[in-house]
């Protein structure tokens, strides 16, 4: 991400936070990030903010992930963990259940690619 993208991302997060009437500390607590880190992101100081943190902040502020992805030119999406890692850390699933999710995601991706061809 370049400086201009970092500044746009920071403005988006700050505007969304203010629109919801939330403080930095309130959003930071919900997103499980440091309020100082969030403040610096809002000020555009980080060109490579941790994607998983940005995702949690976006979720806390009800920001569409695609909007974040457009601003960061894919930085967030390209640096998030894969489906298996995400579901293993987030939910108590068996390896078979995770395999089934991966197959479903692969099917959706293939269908999407065919639709765009």
Whole-number pLDDT of residue 43: 96
Maximum Cα–Cα distance across the chain: 45
The tens digit of pLDDT for each residue in 66-82 reads 888 888 887 777 666 56
The tens digit of pLDDT for each residue in 23-76 reads 999 999 999 999 999 999 999 998 888 888 998 898 899 888 788 888 888 777
CA gap 114, 117 in Å, rounded: 5
Predicted TM-score of the model (pTM): 0.68
Q: State both tokens at 26.
A: 């309130």
């Amino acid at each position: 991400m370049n400086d201009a993208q970092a500044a746009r991302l920071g403005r988006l997060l700050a505007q969304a936070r203010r629109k919801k009437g939330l403080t930095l500390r309130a959003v930071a607590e919900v997103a499980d990030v440091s309020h100082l880190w969030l403040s610096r992101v809002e000020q555009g100081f980080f060109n490579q903010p941790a994607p998983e943190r940005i995702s949690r902040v976006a979720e806390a502020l009800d920001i569409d992930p695609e909007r974040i992805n457009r601003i960061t030119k894919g930085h967030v999406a390209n640096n998030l963990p894969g489906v298996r890692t995400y579901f293993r850390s987030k939910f108590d699933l068996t390896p078979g259940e995770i395999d089934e999710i991966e197959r479903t995601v692969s099917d959706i991706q293939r269908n999407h690619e065919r639709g765009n061809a």
